[in-house]
Amino acid sequence: MPEIAARKQVEFIIPVLDQVFSTVPKEDIDAIAVTQGPGLIGSLIVGIEAAKALSLALNKPLIAVNHLVAHFYANFLNYSADAIKFPALVLVVSGGHTDLVLMHSHGNLEHLGSTIDDAAGEAFDKTARILGIGDYLGGVKLSQKAAECKENTLAGTLPRPMLDKDNYDFSFSGLKTATKRVVEKAESGELGDLAEKYSVEALACEFETAVVDVLVGKAIKAASDFNVKSLLLGGGVAANIPLRTRLQNETASLGIPLFLPELRLCGDNASTVASAGFFNQKFVDFEDLSPNPSLTITD
Ligand code: KG4
Ligand code: ZN
């Protein structure tokens, strides 16, 4: 609910800044990094206006940061920058985006592919609602439900969209609809042979496995095609344990160093914005900085 999000942002921005300045000496601040987009317009406005006010008050330059770029710069907070070698393959999986990007160096990104419909996180959230296990950010709850499943009795019954396509794009909308159809059939007693194998836990597990199969399959294909020296994960869905484990296993067998953000740095947070600001140093003039809700990862 964009209106509520913006109002909450107004309510919290000053207390958050108060908290920051109770521990960070103002002299230690070199610049103010702020998210320019993509995101909800109301929230972006609040952040940008606060950043401009800080920039004026502290007489420090402003740095514009792309929200999606900030996600994978979480990795530069918990690994040494020297350890991450280029070209690197970046997989950003969040509530609004699913992107595969080739990172040649800081600030030099090449777009490889994106979702053509729902983002991975969005599919997790919508499917959680379909399974009746979560209304808000249900992806986490869906994953918890899947973890309760001892054996995936529904293995292979859902599609792995676009996995066999020779490109780096994704599609998750059909997978969500296929899951919905299984639930509807279960409710109307039309599952046939699958009826004995059906449980919400198994369906959650099969859905999660299908998403992970596609994300990992496409990422590994791109990593091999471009002979990358590192693979970086980022975004809210980077907190998904089966995704992390599968990437660890598959990159290990290919000998590609994998970089995973700390769990607490996967979702939206300011330290990753600071990290992206520090490494990219995209300074902007006060009057040139305005929110851009539809910024893409390579803008
Ligand atoms: O990056 P983020 O915090 O916000 C956006 O920029 O969108 O991502 C939030 C998304 C939500 O869809 C949420 O359900 C999903 O990340 N998410 C997860 C997990 N933790 C968060 N999805 C699957 N498994 C998780 N453990
Ligand atoms: Zn995000």
Per-residue pLDDT of the chain (299 residues; tens, 9 = 90+): 889 999 999 999 999 999 999 999 999 999 999 999 999 999 999 999 999 999 999 999 999 999 999 999 999 999 999 999 999 999 999 999 999 999 999 999 999 999 999 999 999 999 999 999 988 889 999 999 999 999 999 999 999 999 999 999 999 999 999 999 999 999 999 999 999 999 999 999 999 999 999 999 999 999 999 999 999 999 999 999 999 999 999 999 999 999 999 999 999 999 999 999 999 999 999 999 999 999 999 99
| 122 C-alpha to ligand 1 centroid (Å) | 8
Q: Return the best residue to mutate from 43, 137, 141, 246 for the ligand 1 pocket (most ligand atoms within 8 A of CB).
A: 137
CA 146 – CA 89 distance, rounded (Å): 28
DSSP-derived 3-state class of residue 102? strand
Q: Quick one: DSSP state of residue 150?
A: S
Report whether 256 contacts 222 (CB < 8 A).
no
In angstroms, what CA-CA distances link 61 with 150, 196, 243? 54, 63, 38
C-alpha 203: how far from its chain's center?
23
Query: In angstroms, rounded to a whole number, what is the distance separating the alpha carbons of residues 297 and 37?
Result: 9
Nearest ligand for residue 204 CA: 1
Cα four-point dihedral sign 223, 228, 231, 237? negative
Angstrom distance (rounded) from CA 285 to CA 297? 21
Neighbours of ion ligand 2 (CB under 5 A): 94, 268
Neighbours of 62 (CB within 10 A): 23
Q: Which atom of ligand 1 is nearest to the CA of 267?
A: 3
Ligand 2 mean position, distance from CA 70 (Å)? 8
Ligand 2 centre and the CA of 39: distance in Å?
8
Angle value at C-alpha 67, between 293 and 33, nearest 5 degrees? 105
Global confidence as pTM: 0.96
The kind and range of the H/E element at 103 are strand 98-105
Task: Find the 282 Cα to ligand 1 centroid distance in Å.
Answer: 27
